[in-house]
């Protein structure tokens, strides 16, 4: 379940000082500030500082936002505000900032007087507010719109959604069973750098724990799951081997729940030679994806994180890998042996089949074979580009109808929205993308770009 953002609301106006004498507007301005806070409640849990007019009120707002550990501060001005007021709050906080340059009226009417101006002239103080952020090197998002403009609200929501993902990453625990697949350079990463710059902690999970739990799963649970899976999927494999795969899947789910992991990756071959398990876990890792625990294959931690990001935005996500270029259709086949999220497959057409790639002491374990449902998709690779620097590589396009081939793998055909496939491949490769990627239905580039800025990392859109 996606984390809700905690939103600090900072609404400001200069009403009364030695020279300005508009204190009669305070009730109307206070009501306007509350209306703004109420509107932002559609995007998360609001921490409202009330109407802020003076520096000491801004300092109190900073203390409130810090105490509540807000994920983002939405700063607005109803009317001109001296720059030291927002500076007092924003210099004493570290949460990402969204400056919403908004007003209720589309224009000043011929009969509108100064009171209307006072509640709709935030643009007067915006240069000071944003200049404070620029001069102090504080990253910020900016949306200019009418208060009730649907497109403006959408853009505000995109920024807040990115802030919610940032919180999720800061709290996330990624299970790593075994080690990354040997020799795969794009799976090599610095765990402390990941923790510092992206957020998640990587926690080793001993294969022994899963092997022991495998033997502890009650047979009644295995039988019930076998029956349930046969009712919703086409199962094309030996009953005893499917039962073993189900038992491994339930063991993974039990361990992940016990240890409160938010995502999972394993060196899939780690149990092949263990007589207690003796099969590949592809079916089990696919089920983890379906129940909301992003799982990547081959000990690929960075793709597990990319998949977690995409799941937070879209609700379901999967791992994909480049396979075969289709020059005739300006597309490329994405797949991965046995592993993928069945929740994203074409409804009613998901099969469970034994692997054709990896045989353990008990034979070929179960995996999935299906075509991903056609429609818009966003791909995300999380890349370590050297010198401790991280990068998002992002691309959007369409998944095309694709009759699945008999290769015991989830599969699809991806076409970029505008680029010929050769140009897309060149750009994707030049950006340093990993050979795995996280992916989800829909279009999420705007949110990912906001998230990259909040994390202080690069982003390349292909």
Same domain flag for 309 and 446 = yes
- Tell me the three-class secondary structure of the chain, residue by residue: CCCCEEEEEEEECCCECCCCECHHHHHHHHHHHHHHHHHHHHHEEEEEEEEECCHHHHHHHHHHHHHHCCCEEEEEECCCCCCHHHHHHHCCCCCCEEEEEEECCCCCCCCCCHHHHHCCCHHHCHHHHHHHHHHCCCCEEEEEEECCCHHHHHHHHHHHHHHHHHHHHHHCEEEEECCCCCCCHHHCCCHHHHHHHHCCEEEEECHHHHHHHHHHCCHHHHHHHHHHHHHHCEEECCHHHHHHHHHHHHHHHHHHHHCCCCEEEECHHHHCCCCCCCCCCHHHHHHHHHCCCCEECCCCHHHHHHHHHHHHHHCCCEEEEEEEEECCCCEEEEECCCCCCHHHECCCCCEEEEEEEEEECCEEEEEEEEEECCEEEEEEEEEEEECCEEEEEEEEEEEECCCCCCCCCEEEEEEECCCCHHHHHHHHHHCCCCCEEEEEECCCHHHHHHHHHHHCCEEEEC
Residue % of the chain over a pLDDT of 70: 100
* CATH number of residue 70's parent domain: 3.40.50.10940
Tell me what pLDDT residue 15 has.
87
Q: Give 434-460 pLDDT, tens digit per residue.
A: 999 999 999 999 999 999 999 999 999
Q: Give 200-256 pLDDT, tens digit per residue.
A: 999 999 999 999 999 999 999 999 999 999 999 999 999 999 999 999 999 999 999
Q: How many structural domains is the chain composed of?
A: 2
Q: Give 80-95 pLDDT, tens digit per residue.
A: 999 999 999 999 999 9
Same domain flag for 149 and 205 = no
Same domain flag for 154 and 39 = yes
Of 108, 139, 170, the residue that ends a domain is: 170
Cβ–Cβ < 8 Å for 370, 336: no
Same domain flag for 164 and 177 = no
Same domain flag for 165 and 240 = no
For residue 461, name the pLDDT band (cuts at 50, 70, 90): very high
Tell me what pLDDT residue 230 has.
97
Q: Give 347-381 pLDDT, tens digit per residue.
A: 999 999 999 989 999 999 999 999 999 999 999 99
Same domain flag for 294 and 397 = yes
Of 170, 205, 236, the residue that ends a domain is: 170
Same domain flag for 59 and 176 = no
Q: Give 282-340 pLDDT, tens digit per residue.
A: 999 999 999 999 999 999 999 999 999 999 999 999 999 999 999 999 999 999 998 99
Same domain flag for 122 and 207 = no
Q: Give 131-141 pLDDT, tens digit per residue.
A: 999 999 999 99
Same domain flag for 177 and 164 = no
Give the domain extent around 121: 5-170
**Taking all residues of the chain, what is their mean pLDDT, rounded to a whole number?**
96
Tell me what pLDDT residue 1 has.
57
pTM as predicted = 0.95
pLDDT at 21 over 80: no
Q: Is 201 exposed, middle or buried (0-12, 13-18, 19+ CB in 10 A)?
A: middle
Same domain flag for 294 and 308 = yes
Of 142, 170, 198, the residue that ends a domain is: 170
Same domain flag for 79 and 184 = no
* CATH number of residue 375's parent domain: 3.40.275.10
Same domain flag for 153 and 192 = no
* CA-only gyration radius of the chain, Å: 26
């Amino acid at each position: 379940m996606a984390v809700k953002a905690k939103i600090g609301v900072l609404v400001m106006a200069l009403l009364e000082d030695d020279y300005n004498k508009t204190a009669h507007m305070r009730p109307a301005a206070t009501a306007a500030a509350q209306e703004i806070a109420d509107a932002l409640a559609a995007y998360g849990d609001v921490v409202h500082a009330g109407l802020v007019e003076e520096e000491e009120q801004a300092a109190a707002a900073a203390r409130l936002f810090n105490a509540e550990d807000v994920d983002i501060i939405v700063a607005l001005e109803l009317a001109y505000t001296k720059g030291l007021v927002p500076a007092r709050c924003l210099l004493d906080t570290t949460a990402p900032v969204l400056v919403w340059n908004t007003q209720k009226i589309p224009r000043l009417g011929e009969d509108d007087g100064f009171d209307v101006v006072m509640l709709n002239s935030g643009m007067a103080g915006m240069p000071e507010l944003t200049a404070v952020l620029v001069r102090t090197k504080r990253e910020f998002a900016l949306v200019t719109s009418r208060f009730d403009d649907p497109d403006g609200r959408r853009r505000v929501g995109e920024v807040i959604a990115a802030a919610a993902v940032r919180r999720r990453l800061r709290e996330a625990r990624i299970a790593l069973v075994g080690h990354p697949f040997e020799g795969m350079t794009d799976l090599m990463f610095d765990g402390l750098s990941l923790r510092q710059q992206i957020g998640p902690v990587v926690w080793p999970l001993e294969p022994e724990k899963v092997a022991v739990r495998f033997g502890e799963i009650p047979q009644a649970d295995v039988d019930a799951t076998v029956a349930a899976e046969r009712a919703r999927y086409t199962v094309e494999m030996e009953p005893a081997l499917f039962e073993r795969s189900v038992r491994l899947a339930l063991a993974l789910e039990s361990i992940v729940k016990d240890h409160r992991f938010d995502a999972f990756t394993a060196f899939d071959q780690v149990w092949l030679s263990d007589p207690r398990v003796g099969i590949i876990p592809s079916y089990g890792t696919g089920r983890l994806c379906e129940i909301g625990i992003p799982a990547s294959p081959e000990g690929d931690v960075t793709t597990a994180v990319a998949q977690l990001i995409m799941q937070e935005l879209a609700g379901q996500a999967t791992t994909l890998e480049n396979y075969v270029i289709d020059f005739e259709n300006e597309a490329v086949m994405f797949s991965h042996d046995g592993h993928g999220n069945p929740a994203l497959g074409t409804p009613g057409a998901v099969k469970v089949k034994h692997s054709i790639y990896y045989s353990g002491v008990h034979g070929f374990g179960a995996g999935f074979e299906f075509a991903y449902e056609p429609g818009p998709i966003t791909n995300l690779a999380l890349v370590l580009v050297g010198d401790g620097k991280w990068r998002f590589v992002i691309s959007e396009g369409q998944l095309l109808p694709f009759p699945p081939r008999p290769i015991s793998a989830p599969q699809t055909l991806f076409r970029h929205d505008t680029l010929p496939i050769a140009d897309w491949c060149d750009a994707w490769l030049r950006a340093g993308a990993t050979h795995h990627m996280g992916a989800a239905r829909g279009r999420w580039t705007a949110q990912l770009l906001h998230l990259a800025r909040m994390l202080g990392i690069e982003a390349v859109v292909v």
